[in-house]
Each structure stands twice: as structure tokens, then as C-alpha cells.
Structure 1
Amino acid sequence: MSLQDEIIERSSKIFRDAYQMSIGELINIYKDGEMDIHPEFQRVFRWSETQKTRLIESIMLNIPIPSIFVSQNDEGIWDVIDGVQRLSTIFQFVGVFKDENGKRIDPLVLLKTDYLPSFEGMMWDNPTDPNKSFTKEQQLAFKRSRIDLIIVKKESDPKTKYELFQRLNTGGSKLSDQEVRNCLMIMTNREFYGFIDRLSKNEYFNNCVVITDRKEDEQFKLELIIRLLIAVKMDMSEASNYTDLKELLDRETIKMIDEFEDSEYQNIEDKFIRTFKLLNNILGEDSFKKYSNEKHKGAFLVGAFQGIATGIYCNIDKIEKMNPEDIKKKIRLFYEENAYIESTNRGVRAVPRFHDLSIMGKEYFGHEY
């Protein structure tokens, strides 16, 4: 197939419309429940009060703002792909924005700006100080301002909105790979995301996985759980289809969600808790730290997690029957295995490392000691 044929084939699977809509119309659509802007995303889209104020300023000064992208689902509801923070800021400013539990968020109080210093302390409707409220004229001007809207129609390829979300939210953003992946999970299956988020808060897991504050902020613990579950459920022979680990984790996460059965939640959570309770009781925060010269030292090792956590999880019924000292010794000898050393050498690509350590862990901890 030629390049032009590929372009024609792929572009024919994307159906979209473009509109200009007033902010007042968008407010009504949101209030009527015809738009899902994913308030859960507020955990990862971290706009400051200054950024929010600058958006309101841009609207009032008639400065163009980027288009909003939405995807229309089978029920006609608009699923916001790009523009969550812009829309939530607008809705918060006018006092209608609700969190994921349906509770109304406190209205936005503006800060002063270089162009509009009188913005300081202003609100859409200040109940205690009318002088700090937008006038009727200003409110009408705000609601009549228009925003470009791109609608990806329901007839499009189902994967389109995920691809679009990734491309729009990774190009110039500061979101980590896992933060984008979290948003994809929320868009695909809120229950699954909530399940992964709950596992990430497990006490035993957190005692064993000691990472930097920066990694915590980037939701790396959720990525580790995704890595573990993919290693457990994925057909590892398909890993060679990927050249990039981020792509593997993204696509296999969506695939895992599509194939996930409700009956699996309890079994997975049970094995997860047993795995990290065992590790916590034996090694605690040393569970994934290099062992050499008769002691654990250094920082948390992702490679050690991939092999040890996957191996113990997959063989937890057998491992639990072992003497704790034997388990500890087996974990410490793991670092001396040639397969581990070769997989973690500098220069080894991420996908082969993920593949090899996952398989090695399952086999190593599955063997009789």
C-alpha cells in the first residue's frame, strides 16, 4: 500500500465537524449533562490560579484561545478530549463546575493581571460585595464570546479519540506518560481506573515501593501496577510488535480494559495484596533495592520490580508456603542471575528488558527452591 493509500484509508475513518459556539451555549450543555469534561482529570491537569485568571482575561479581551476537541459517544454525549482545563475554568468561574462526586466547586476568584489589574478579587457574582462582581454587561459579553469546537463524530474509528487525546496532550504538555495514561483509563473505564488507583494506595505496596517525590507526582506507582498487570495478562510473544515501551503500555492498557471481566477485580486485588504483604513482611522498603556485599542498598529499581513482583504475583500460592528466610534468600540471589544482569545492562532497550524480566520472574519464582 502506498503512502497516499494509507493516508486516504486512515483519514476516511475520522469523521468530524467544526463549530463556533458561545460560552453561554457550552454552559447550558454542561448543566444539562450533555458534556463530560472528566472532573477526575483535575488530579493531573494542574492549572494554577494565575493560569485560570489569564484564560478569563483572554476571553474578556477577545484574544483567541485554542479549539476544544470533543468526541461524541453513542448516546450523543460529548466526551472532552482536549480542553478539559479551559472548560472547567470557565464553568468554575461562572459557578456551575462540579467535582467527580457531583459537589459544586467554589467559584473562581480572579487575580490581577498586567492588562487588567482591576481583576483582583473579582468574581462572576460576589454575594458579599457587589463591587467585586462582574456587571450584567460584562457577564453577557463573556457568555456571548465564541470558542471553536471540533467534534469527532461517533462514526469514527473507536480508537480515534484515544489517539487524538494522546497527541494533543503530549506534544506541548508537562503531563507524564502515566498521567496521560490515567486520563485514557478514565475515558475508557472509570471503574478500572478507580481499581488501579485503589491498589496504588495499598499500605503494603507503598511500604515496598519507595520512590522520589517527583516520581510520586508523576503517578509512577500507577504505572508500576500497570506494568505488573500487563506482564501477567499479556501474550509476551506480542512484545516484539512494539519498539517503544510507552506505546506498549498505552496500547496494552486499552486492550486489557477492553478484555477485562468484572469477575477479575477481586482475584487480582487478592493476589496483589498477598504479594506485597509477603514482600513487606520479609524485606519492606528493601524489596526492590540491589543486594550486594550482604546488604540491600541504593534506590528503588524498576527492573527488580518487574522481575520480582511479577514472579511472586504469578506464583504466590507456592511462594506463601515457603519459609520466609528461604524467600528472602531467593530474592537476594535473583540479582546474581545472568538473565537479570544481562537485561539490566546499560544499552538494553526498554521493551526487550520488560519482556525478558517479566518472563524471567515468572520462571525463576516458579521453580522449586
Structure 2
Amino acid sequence: MEAKEIQVQDASLDETEVFDPEEDEDEVVLGPPSAEESLRYFGVDFDVEGLVRRFERKELIVPRFDPEEPENKGTGYAGFQRDFVWKKRQMDRFIESILLGYPVPGIFLVELKSRQYLVLDGQQRLTTLKAFYKGEVEKAGGGTREFTLEYAAEPFKGRSYNSLEAADQRVLNNALIQATVTLPVGDSGKLAIYTLFERINSGGTQLKDQQIRVAIFPGAATQLVRNLNRDPSWRQLFGPRHRDLRDQELILRYLSLKKVAEEMQSGGIEGSAKYTPPMASFMSGFLAAHEEMPEEDQEREQSEFGSACKLLIAAEGKDALKRNRVINAARADSILTGLTLAIRANPGISAGTVSSALRKLEHDEDYLESTQKSTSHRTSVRKRLDSTLRAFSE
């Protein structure tokens, strides 16, 4: 099957495209964990007024992408929710549906040890309800204005919560919204939450793998990826920060496969057995296994990564990882892996040596094939890592 380039459009960012052949490949993968074994879940019917009260008391937490967001602290999960994106028409129609007695979609929550609930799905609906009860809606240019139902039929058109008839207020207050509450169980519990999150977001504007990972695996390795993503030389190589965290995902690929390459160096062919496809699950497993990481290891990773990025720029310029503004993910993960391990062995490696190694790779047919087809298969991973390890050490 021909691989396609992943194109991301965002008017606010001039984003780098990431070409990842494995995303279009059919391959045998390990099955997801069983929900029966890894999740405990139950249904609860919340009345709308009660949901709004809980939301205002921060018993319902919507964690944002910003890791410094106060609500993210102490939950065991990092931020993963986008900002509010519903248009006013969507907000009004949702409120009107409840007032007319129509059923509305349920929400998904994760129960925390604090007995608060993390919102997996339902942010737009909950935020709309909170805004309607408060009587304020944000304006596009900033600030707020009165929340009245502009896109609703009579008798609700032009009404705010406070101006609704008392009977209509009671209809809204007492309407029930079903919540599915989940609790992770055992070692695979968080992975099961990740799997559930993927399936919830299988339609509409789908959250990407890395956006889900930062929520489910918030430990030291995830923070290390964030720190490396701030490296000034990496920012030159990749470009502006990516809306879907593809820059962070590339760094995670590199960190994950670097461990494989280290095993290959010390144990030969047996080292490649440490890698198990698919790549997406392998990267998630890396984060799960490194929720704790010694400070000295993190400092070494930052030093090696920064040195490799700076050396790539010195050797080939800021487009060293790109071809026509597109980064091939498999090429990038192998080059970064091979170069950082070469720097570890020879801190004085020159830009000329790096440039020569990159030219050799461009004429290595096995290497080129392993970065274009079946890139997440064991054989391909081993081939491209082996090629870069040899190229940068010669």
C-alpha cells in the first residue's frame, strides 16, 4: 500500500508535515487490554443542576494541555483537553434540546482517589451548561456577553437562564445526563483508559496518539519529552510547535528506539527483540515504564539530544531532517538515535563526519527501504538503526 503524507492545516501555524508510513500500513498488532480485566465502570444519572454545581466546585475537572494548569495537579493525569471549540449555534441547540426533552449524549468520567472526576468526554457540553447558568458567554475577540438563546425557536429564543419561565428552569435543572464512570484496575488500567479514550474520539476532530499519551502517562519520561521539545536547536530543525504534538511524538520515538539501539550495541541481534510492534504501543509502553527516571539520566538525555541537534544544524543546516518541509518519522528517529550514541562514544565528532554519514545513508538501499515501507516491523527497525549506528561510527 502506498504511504501518504500526513498534512496538517492550521491557519495560525506554519506547521511542519510529518510523513509516517506506518500510519497507513496493515500489520499484526497486539490486542488492547480487556476492559473487563483492566477497568471498573458504572453508570450514574446526574441532574443538570447538580452537574453544574459539581463543575463550579471543581469536582469535575477538565484538564487542559498546559501542564502548569492548576487543575492538573495531583490528578495522576496530565492535561489533554483542547480549549472550548463549540460555536454559539451548537451551544444554543444543545440547551434547547434539553429544554424540549430530547435525550442528549452521555459523558465519560474517570473517578480519582480524591473522589473528583476527570472529564474524558463531555467538556463542550459541561462548559456550555456552566456558561448558560452563569449567564455569560465568551466573545470571539475577548471578554464576555450575556448568554441568551439566539439559535432557538419560540418560546426559548432570546431567553437566558434567569429569564426562562420557572417551569422551563425546572425542566432544565431536573433533566438527567448519563455518565459512564471508569476506574483503572491493575497494571494495564491506564493503558485501558488510553484505549477507551481512543475509541471515544474515533469520530469528529480526533485527538492524536501523543495528545492522549500525555494525559495517561504523566511521569518523568513525558516531562523529559516536553523539556527536549524546548531545545532551541530542535526548534530550528522541526519548526513551530505542532498543534497535534507531532514534534513531541518524534522525540518520543527517538527516546524509545534509543533504548533498542543500546541493546543492539551490547547484545547484537537479541537486542532487537526488545522492540515489539506496533510503534504506537511501543512508545506508550516506554512512557509507562519510565514514569520515574533518575535526574542524572534526564540530564544526560538533554545534553545528548541538544548536542545532536546542534551538530545536525552545523552539518546540514536547519533542514537536516526535512525533505521539502516534510520530516520522515522513520528517518528522523534513526538519525537522532545513531548520532546521539555516536556523540556518547566520541564527544568530539565533527560536523564534517556527520555530513559524510548522512550522505552514505542516502545511498544505502537497505536504509532507504526501511524508512519508507513497513517502518514499524522488527526487521525494518533493526535495519535502519543498524545502518545509522554504522554510518556515524565509521
TM more than 0.5 = yes
Return the match for 1:51 from 61, 85, 90: 90
Query: Is this contact kept in 1: 2:38–2:184, CA < 8 A?
Result: no
Say whether residues 1:17 and 2:36 are aligned partners. Answer: no
Give the superposition deviation at 1:22: 1.0
The amino acid across from 2:179 in the alignment is L
Whole-angstrom CA distance in 1 between matches of 2:233 and 2:338: 17
Find the counterpart in structure 2 of residue 188 from structure 1: 217
Say whether residues 1:162 and 2:194 are aligned partners. Answer: yes
Find the counterpart in structure 2 of residue 69 from structure 1: 108
Deviation sequence 1:225-269 (CA, Å, 0-9, x none):
111111123566346642x33333334333343x54455443333
Following superposition, which runs of at least 4 residues in structure 1 exceed 6 angstroms of deviation? none
The amino acid across from 2:104 in the alignment is I
Whole-angstrom CA distance in 1 between matches of 2:84 and 2:388: 36
Whole-angstrom CA distance in 2 between matches of 1:37 and 1:288: 36
Deviation sequence 1:111-169 (CA, Å, 0-9, x none):
7336469657x6657xxxxxxx6666655543322110112246576233222222222
Say whether residues 1:174 and 2:201 are aligned partners. Answer: no
Query: Is this contact kept in 1: 2:149–2:160, CA < 8 A?
Result: no
Query: Is this contact kept in 1: 2:233–2:313, CA < 8 A?
Result: yes
Say whether residues 1:150 and 2:184 are aligned partners. Answer: no
Residue 189 of structure 2 aligns to a residue whose secondary structure is coil
Query: Is this contact kept in 2: 1:92–1:107, CA < 8 A?
Result: no
Query: Is this contact kept in 1: 2:97–2:103, CA < 8 A?
Result: yes
Whole-angstrom CA distance in 1 between matches of 2:133 and 2:383: 53
Give the superposition deviation at 1:284: 2.6
Give the superposition deviation at 1:333: 1.9
Residue 180 of structure 2 aligns to a residue whose secondary structure is strand
Say whether residues 1:340 and 2:367 are aligned partners. Answer: yes
Whole-angstrom CA distance in 1 between matches of 2:287 and 2:146: 36
Q: 1:111 to 1:260 in 2, by over 3 A?
A: farther
Return the match for 1:351 from 364, 371, 377: 377
Aligned pairs, number: 330
Say whether residues 1:313 and 2:340 are aligned partners. Answer: yes
Bigger mean CA deviation after superposition, 311-320 or 189-198: 189-198
What residue ranges of structure 2 are gaps of 5+ in the alignment? 1-30, 66-79, 137-142, 264-270
What residue ranges of structure 1 are gaps of 5+ in the alignment? 1-5, 98-104, 126-132, 291-296
Query: Is this contact kept in 2: 1:65–1:147, CA < 8 A?
Result: yes
Q: Which has the higher contact order (CA 8 A, sep 6+)?
A: 2
The amino acid across from 1:206 in the alignment is R
Find the counterpart in structure 2 of residue 30 from structure 1: 55
Deviation sequence 1:28-59 (CA, Å, 0-9, x none):
32333333221333437744444344333333
Give the % identical residues. Answer: 19
Q: 1:1-369 alignment to 2 at 5 Å?
A: 11=36, 13-40=38-65, 41-43=80-82, 46-95=85-134, 109=147, 112-113=150-151, 115=153, 138-153=168-183, 158-159=189-190, 160-169=192-201, 171-178=202-209, 181-189=210-218, 193=222, 195-210=224-239, 216-234=242-260, 237-238=272-273, 241-242=276-277, 244-257=278-291, 259-261=292-294, 264-289=297-322, 299-318=326-345, 320-345=347-372, 347-352=373-378, 353-365=380-392, 367=393, 369=394
Deviation sequence 1:61-113 (CA, Å, 0-9, x none):
3322222122223333322222233323333444499xxxxxxx968846733
Give the superposition deviation at 1:321: 0.9
Q: 1:284 to 1:93 in 2, by over 3 A?
A: farther
The amino acid across from 1:300 in the alignment is I
Find the counterpart in structure 1 of residue 73 from structure 2: none
Give the superposition deviation at 1:309: 1.3
